[in-house]
Structure 1
Amino acid sequence: MAGNSDPLTPRAKLAVTAGKAVAAASRAAGRGSGSVIGGRVALKLDPDLLGKLAQNLDCVLVSATNGKTTTTRLIAEALRAAGPVVSNALGANMPAGITSALAGGSDARYGVIEVDEKYLAGVARDTEPKCIALLNLSRDQLDRAAETRMLAENWREGLAGSKAVIVANCDDPLVVWAASSSPNVIWVAAGQMWKDDAWSCPSCGGVMQRPGDDWFCGECGFRRPTPTWALSGDHVLDPHGSAWPIHLQLPGRANKANAATSAAVAAVFGVPPQVALERMYQVQAVAGRYDVVQFQGRDLRLLLAKNPAGWLETFSLIDPPPAPVILSVNARSADGTDTSWLWDVDYTRLTGHPICVIGDRKLDLAVRLEVADQQFQVCENLDQAVQLCPPGRIEVIANYTAFQDLRRRVGN
């Protein structure tokens, strides 16, 4: 809908109007942003609406197990250097939420769209994106998400005929296998801290060899492709060998990797790395993640970690011991109700930190910490946990719905 060369049909306009009205009513009733219910109503009235809204946008889709909300935000900031952007910046990443977001961007030139891994192939078909960024694949929501190799296969089949430029992490074998079916791939060396979902070859099932930062299958020859972009310390290396400094307000190695991928995506749209990376500095927090808030006279830093790979990255950026840590885990439908993933997380990395445990599944987490020989206290709620924490900034790590509960409690 950038410009009016192809105005929406009357049916599509009606669908957009109805969706916005339902969303507004939902907000007025205090039921959240209303974007998902509004999008559902709009798609019921016009099932082809997502494609129609995207037809005059240059779109980029972002999908991954971890980091997609942050990367979507970084790319959106970078592309604003070239024109107006519409984005589902708050993470409503299934077709209804995406439709709702695009319906609000009538003057936009670019669409920067976070997409849930399971919906990527369908959204790519509907929106005909110019670019697709693939960051990583790891286990998540074990009771309802497909096994990781099945997700990779779904991507591989769904993207096989795509005209999009695929910007993909060459350090994740599952991502490489998924992207390799596409004719136009830009490989980024973004790194991979969590390797436990890629020990067997996705192509043939053989054992993956991992010398240093390299990887290859000793049986079928499937191997790490040569990157043209790379994260190197605090710099992004571009295809010409130039090193561009990364200055972010977001913490940790994972966000530098997100910035490297975002710079490669921005270049596809003609935004130079220097401009893209400078604009990314604007991003301070993403939907509350990394925010430092005052609560009961204490500084709390809010960190989201939804699965083993995410917890591993998060442990790497918390303040050193004896900084107090509060851990909160729920297992509601949005989190996945299976908490067996807690056993895949290496909690010995928290040794030396005073730990308080809260959340619906605090006892599941307590058993896991007991086995990991950690010192911890089980608390009824955030208020009690904060009172029990010794001095210092408190690192609060929570999974998805637990994180939303925390934000509501601290008024963030």
Structure 2
Amino acid sequence: MPLRAKVASSVSRTAAALSRAAGRGDGSVIGGWIGLKIDPDLLAHLAAGRAIALISGTNGKTTTTRLTSAAVGVLGPVATNSFGANMPTGHTSALAKAGSTPYAVLEVDEHYLAQVLEATEPKVVALLNLSRDQLDRAKEVSMMAQLWRAALVRHPSIRVVANADDPMVVWAVTPPTHPGGQVVAGPSVTWFSAGQRWQDDSWVCPECGSPIARAEDQWWCSGCPLQRPTPHWVVEDDGVVDPYGNWHKITLQLPGRVNLGNAATALAVAAEFGVRPTDAVGRLGTVASIAGRYAQVVRDGRNIRLLLAKNPASWLEAFDMADHAPTLLSINARDPDGLDTSWLYDVDFAPLRGRQVLITGDRAYDLAVRLDVNGVPFRHVHTFTDAIAATPPGRLEVIANYTAFQDIRAELDRVN
């Protein structure tokens, strides 16, 4: 690297270490921020010479990145932003901290994908899904798909691993057609199928505006040729079928069928690096918790499991993961969460009927109104400690959005 980049990288590592030592966080943002101030091209310098995979989408990025890192780790050391700092500052900090690893797997916020593509020139990009998120400040879903499409057209040599079940992702990966009928060159694509439980953001074709029709696991546009492509990797029962028709049993410590889909994506990305599924599947089972997500803690006779849910699609998956047990819901509306809680009305809370439900958080009353509309009985508690006292010994499921999740993690860390 140029001398300036070497100095910036060294200062980045030092700043991150000081942040951790001072208890001000893991340093995954401040280190990169300072490094980029010294050398604006530091991310590109740190990425040079590495085989890189980028993982992007609205939901599942952090988990899929962790699983992919484990799978690619068959080949050697892997740099990754394992704490979820998924913007260029986080990528810079992660690569600086890792040193000269041959491989990197980076989670990328969907809004920053085009910028990170330019800086890192990755070997492969995995596109998971697109759905509504943080309505007060995030881009509308079809606009996000347009930005992805424009970015991929500028990088036709990149290999893409994409979700065949999401019409928005399929359209974003499909090269546009010029008015004269000439198709623009696009990237090579490996398709995976993991199902799409949340479909409320893909009823209308992004190409022509006609309704999207569905039957079983297929979908197609009723007005143009856009349709579900044939997937190469498919979740089947409790395993994954690879492009050669071989079935691989997946044994995960992570709950829910959605994580089988994340595992399929990880295997597909690792295969682009030359990793055989038979070598990678065992490593997927070593992943137990990702930045506190899915973590289980025992306190006062309660086995507490933490699930992060930030938007309608992820709440739907969280209900699928949670056991039929007392459940605490916590909602905040601070800056990292998005200030608009109207998305609660897009979530069907009916699966919670019949279990003990408690609510807390800064916006617990918004949640109370929503649950009342859905006919779900609940009890409001002011603190996490009150929630524990209000539930019997045994399993306690906790589902929370970003800052509410971090508040509860901090409370558990203080006690344990």
Task: Report the CA distance between 1:391 and its aligned residue.
Answer: 4.0
Q: Counterparts in 2 of 1:7-18, with a 5 A limit?
A: 8-18=1-11
Contact 1:356–1:389 (CA under 8 A) maintained in structure 2:
no
Gaps of 5+ in 2: 176-185
Task: Report the CA distance between 1:285 and its aligned residue.
Answer: 0.9
Contact 2:327–2:397 (CA under 8 A) maintained in structure 1:
yes
The match for 2:359 among 357, 360, 369 is 357
- List per-residue Cα deviations over 1:169-216 (Å, max 9, x = no partner): 000001111111332000111111100000000111111101111111
The match for 2:189 among 173, 185, 190 is 185
Q: Which residue of 2 aligns with 1:344?
A: 346
Contact 1:328–1:399 (CA under 8 A) maintained in structure 2:
yes
The match for 1:207 among 197, 206, 211 is 211
- List per-residue Cα deviations over 1:24-77 (Å, max 9, x = no partner): 332233210122111111111111111110011000000011111000000101
- List per-residue Cα deviations over 1:139-195 (Å, max 9, x = no partner): 111111101111111100011132211000000001111111332000111111100
Task: Report the CA distance between 1:20 and its aligned residue.
Answer: 2.0
Q: Counterparts in 2 of 1:34-183, with a 5 A limit?
A: 34-162=27-155, 163-181=157-175, 182-183=186-187
The match for 1:261 among 257, 265, 280 is 265
Cα distance in 1 between the residues matched to 2:259 and 2:358: 26
Gaps of 5+ in 1: 1-7
Q: Which residue of 2 aligns with 1:275?
A: 279
Q: Which residue of 2 aligns with 1:243?
A: 247
Q: Which amino acid aligns with 1:379?
A: V
- Are positions 1:324 and 2:326 aligned together? yes
- Are positions 1:383 and 2:377 aligned together? no
Name which of structure 1's ranges 143-152 and 13-22 shifts more when overlaid on structure 2: 13-22
Contact 2:300–2:393 (CA under 8 A) maintained in structure 1:
no
The match for 2:305 among 301, 307, 311 is 301
Cα distance in 2 between the residues matched to 1:254 and 1:369: 24
Q: Which residue of 2 aligns with 1:30?
A: 23
Name which of structure 1's ranges 351-360 and 174-183 shifts more when overlaid on structure 2: 174-183
**Residue 29 of structure 2 aligns to a residue in which SS?**
helix
Q: Which amino acid aligns with 2:400?
A: A
**Residue 191 of structure 1 aligns to a residue in which SS?**
coil
Cα distance in 2 between the residues matched to 1:80 and 1:192: 28
Q: Which amino acid aligns with 2:412?
A: V
**Residue 210 of structure 1 aligns to a residue in which SS?**
strand
- List per-residue Cα deviations over 1:200-239 (Å, max 9, x = no partner): 0011111110111111111112111111111112111111
Give the length in aligned residue pairs: 403
Q: Which amino acid aligns with 1:362?
A: A
Cα distance in 2 between the residues matched to 1:241 and 1:62: 25
Q: Which residue of 1 aligns with 2:404?
A: 402
Cα distance in 2 between the residues matched to 1:104 and 1:183: 31
Cα distance in 1 between the residues matched to 2:304 and 2:243: 40
State the TM-score, normalized to the length of structure 2: 0.95
The match for 2:371 among 362, 369, 372 is 369
**Residue 282 of structure 1 aligns to a residue in which SS?**
coil
Q: CA RMSD in A?
A: 1.0
